[in-house]
């Protein structure tokens, strides 16, 4: 009897000392009530057990929802304020939350339907990449289909301490659209935030101004202006880095040269202001039109994909 009494007291003490989250518990219980679901039905939609839902509604922080569970809770919510609350706890940044919430609210009300079963949520695979290989980096991440234009070629790209080749990107999970990563020209990526890899080809000398690795930045085009001494215009594509960890802020990753020797025969490029000479200006505009369509990556560079958004989940070490 003494032993049983001591055991009961120990259990009661343990329960009293357990961390509780009344705010989250109230939100979760309120969502279930709004959907008019019993705990077992609610648990089934969230792909968890009834006991797990019970612990959530009791406010037990030791068994708090995972990032994926918080995301599913937000997806089931009818009110945008509730979606934002749940998704913030899933680790989504504010810009992504608002974009996803707006898409889910547009032109329809789900009225508590199971979005995952209806195909409105897809599981996006999670990968980590180094210079040597690509590897799986955890369970898939549930994301709304409205936010993923190319589901078959979209991944969650993990950037953490294990992804040692990524040298100039914040630690997080990035939603990466790889549908055009093998495009021969840079036009599809103009103005887009991308991950780009620099890996010198075998037998070629590496550029001394940047090291091999994977960089994140926005692709911008620079128009051709003055004639070169060789009677040519040139245009370039630059990668504008989005972090301050590199010694440089902009990296030239593509170049286009337009020879104008025949069209501008008789003009001395050293004595004429191309922008004041109608003949030169006409050819310069022609060169720019060609450059936009034909700008290609420099040797050694490749585009891994376009960044659709950034997630900060609990299982990634954020910088």
pLDDT tens digits for 58-72? Answer: 988 788 888 778 878
CA distances, 302 to each of 150, 152, 184 (Å): 20, 20, 10
Q: How does residue 213 score in pLDDT terms, banded at 50, 70 and 90?
A: confident
Q: Look at residue 221 in the predicted model and tell me its pLDDT.
A: 92
Q: Look at residue 250 in the predicted model and tell me its pLDDT.
A: 87
Which stretch, 41-55, 67-81, 159-173, 222-236, has highest mean pLDDT? Answer: 41-55
Cα separation, 103 vs 120, in Å, equals: 11
Q: At 317, list the tokens.
A: 């070490």
Domain 14-105 has CATH 1.10.260: yes
Q: Look at residue 189 in the predicted model and tell me its pLDDT.
A: 93
Find all residues with CB under 8 Å of 228, minimum gap 6, and list them. Answer: 234, 269
Q: What percent of the chain has pLDDT over 70?
A: 73
Return the sign of the alpha-carbon dihedral for residues 237, 243, 245, 248.
Answer: positive
Q: Look at residue 12 in the predicted model and tell me its pLDDT.
A: 39
State the distance between the two ends of the chain, measured CA to CA, in whole angstroms. Answer: 54
Q: What is the 3 state secondary structure string of 57-119? A: HCCEHHHCCCHHHHHHHHHHCCCHHHHHHHHHHHCECHHHHHHHHHHHHCCCCCCCCCCCCCC
Indicate the SS3 state at residue 202.
coil
- The mean predicted confidence, pLDDT, of the chain is 76
Where do the domains of the chain lie? 14-105, 126-311
The pTM for the full model equals 0.62
Query: Residue range 157-164: average pLDDT?
Result: 82
* Number of neighbours of residue 248 by Cβ within 10 angstroms: 11
């Amino acid at each position: 009897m003494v032993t049983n009494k001591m055991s009961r007291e120990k259990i009661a003490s343990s329960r009293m000392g357990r961390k509780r989250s009344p705010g989250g518990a109230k939100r979760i219980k309120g969502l279930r009530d709004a959907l008019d679901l019993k705990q077992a039905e609610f648990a089934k939609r969230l792909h968890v057990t009834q006991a797990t839902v019970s612990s959530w509604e009791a406010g037990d922080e030791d068994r708090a929802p995972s990032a994926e569970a918080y995301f599913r809770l937000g997806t089931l919510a009818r009110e945008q304020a509730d979606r934002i609350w749940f998704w913030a706890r899933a680790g989504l940044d504010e810009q992504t939350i608002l974009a996803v919430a707006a898409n889910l609210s547009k032109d329809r009300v789900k009225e508590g339907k199971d979005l995952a079963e209806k195909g409105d949520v897809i599981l996006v695979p999670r990968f980590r990449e180094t210079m040597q290989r690509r590897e799986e980096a955890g369970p898939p991440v549930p994301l709304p289909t409205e936010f993923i234009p190319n589901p078959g070629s979209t991944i969650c790209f993990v950037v953490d301490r294990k992804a040692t080749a990524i040298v100039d990107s914040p630690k997080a999970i990035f939603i990466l659209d790889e549908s055009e990563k093998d495009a021969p020209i840079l036009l599809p990526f103009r103005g887009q935030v991308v991950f780009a890899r620099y890996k010198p080809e075998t037998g070629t000398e590496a550029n001394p101004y940047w090291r091999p690795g994977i960089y994140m930045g926005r692709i911008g085009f620079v128009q051709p202006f003055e004639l070169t001494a060789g009677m040519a215009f040139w245009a370039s594509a630059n990668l504008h880095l989005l972090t301050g960890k590199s010694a440089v802020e902009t990296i030239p990753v593509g170049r286009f040269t337009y020879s104008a020797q025949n069209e501008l025969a008789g003009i001395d490029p050293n004595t004429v202001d191309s922008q004041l000479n109608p003949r030169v200006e006409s050819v310069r505009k022609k060169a720019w039109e060609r450059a936009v369509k034909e700008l290609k990556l420099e040797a050694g560079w490749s585009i891994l994909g376009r960044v659709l958004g950034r997630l900060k989940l609990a299982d990634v070490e954020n910088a």
